[in-house]
């Protein structure tokens, strides 16, 4: 049962990486830029939800909704102020700007919320009353006499990941804005000639990615409840790794890459070494890219000249 417990934990962690990676892969697929501030949007979403529920007493669902709204607006603002002026700039300038935005968000969080860790509440725990009259919090379900334990956070995280994946696939394939995103991803100049507003499409892409980052932040903090201003840094880097692993620019690739990365990380921690788990994750990425440079589901694009 140890193997199954590790596998389920890996799928849960991978689901969080997949949700974050979807934001990376959508922005790169359409705007052809790497938004390294994406991980810090996760942190902002987690803080907004924390204060909305713990300090102002909002129900968890409203706290998550508020976090999604704030992060959506934040993502669009970042795009307009920091990235839109650099549409035709070299990729290095955009990369440096993204790193600058990341440090700005981290330091703003330090000033606003202090470096002291906050303990994120577990929204998925249930209060249970035993026949003897004792009250305790139930955080998961136990199977096979307790040998296999699945937390409610894990179940919700996996379910949310699958729903988001299906919804995004349907959105990009069947809606007018989704088709505009695909057109911009293929050729921005041709999309402009067809009457598509490239700037609006990119802004909507940032909005969707940032909203997903808020959801991922809440799910991540529910599983790992130590909230600090640098919380989003490592999950953001690993989610970017997952996007590259699966094939950056591919929505199914981000989904698959996130799941595989989470499973590899948990198995490495369980069976090899907790200290070496991150090194093993990145070593697997290097090996995969050596064999398939476009990632697992990425495709080579040949341009005619």
What is the per-residue pLDDT for 27? Answer: 85
Q: How many CA atoms lie within 13 A of 302 on its CB side?
A: 1
Supply 16's token pair. 């969080």
The pLDDT of residue 19: 92
Q: What is the dihedral of CA 49, 50, 51, 54, to 10 degrees?
A: 120
Q: What's the pLDDT score for residue 133?
A: 55
Nearest to 6 by CA among 235, 275, 270: 270
What pLDDT does 132 receive?
A: 59
**C-alpha–C-alpha distance, residues 75 and 81, integer Å:** 10
Residue 145 Ramachandran class (φ > 0 left, ψ -120 to 50 alpha, else beta): left
Could you give all domains of the chain from N- to C-terminal order, each with its CATH number? 2-291 (1.10.3470)
Alpha-carbon distance of 91 to 87, in angstroms, equals 9
Q: What is the pLDDT of residue 128?
A: 60
What are the per-10-residue average pLDDT scores of the chain (305 residues)? 85 92 86 85 94 90 95 94 86 88 94 90 71 60 74 90 91 89 86 88 92 93 91 90 86 90 92 88 87 78 53
Residue 34: the pLDDT is 80
Listed residue (4, 5, 2, 18) closest to 261, CA to CA = 18
DSSP string, 195-233: T--HHHHHHHHHHHHHHHHHHHHHHHHHHS-EE-TTTTH
């Amino acid at each position: 049962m140890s193997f199954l417990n590790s596998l389920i934990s890996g799928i849960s962690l991978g689901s969080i990486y997949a949700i974050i990676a979807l934001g990376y892969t959508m922005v790169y697929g359409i705007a052809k830029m790497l938004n390294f501030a994406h991980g810090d949007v996760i942190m902002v979403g987690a803080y907004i939800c924390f204060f909305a529920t713990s300090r102002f007493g909002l129900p968890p669902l409203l706290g998550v909704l508020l976090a999604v709204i704030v992060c959506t607006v934040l993502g669009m603002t970042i795009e307009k102020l920091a990235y839109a002026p650099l549409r035709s700039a070299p990729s290095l300038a955009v990369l440096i700007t993204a790193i600058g935005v990341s440090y700005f968000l981290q330091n703003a969080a330090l000033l606003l919320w202090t470096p002291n860790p906050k303990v994120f509440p577990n929204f998925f725990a249930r209060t249970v009353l035993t026949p003897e009259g004792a009250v305790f919090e139930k955080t998961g379900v136990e199977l096979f006499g307790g040998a296999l334990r699945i937390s409610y956070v894990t179940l919700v995280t996996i379910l949310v990941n699958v729903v988001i994946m299906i919804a995004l696939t349907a959105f990009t394939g069947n809606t007018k804005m989704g088709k505009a995103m695909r057109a911009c991803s293929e050729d921005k100049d041709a999309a402009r000639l067809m009457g598509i507003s490239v700037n609006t499409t990119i802004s909507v892409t940032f909005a969707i990615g940032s909203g997903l980052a808020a959801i991922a932040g809440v799910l991540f903090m529910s599983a790992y409840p130590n909230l600090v201003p640098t919380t989003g840094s490592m999950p953001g880097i690993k989610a970017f790794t997952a996007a590259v692993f699966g094939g950056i620019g591919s929505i199914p690739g981000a989904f698959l890459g996130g799941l595989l990365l989470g499973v590899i990380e948990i198995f490495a921690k369980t069976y090899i070494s907790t200290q070496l788990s991150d090194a093993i994750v990145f070593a697997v990425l290097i090996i995969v890219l050596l064999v398939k440079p476009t990632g697992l589901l990425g495709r080579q694009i040949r341009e005619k000249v």
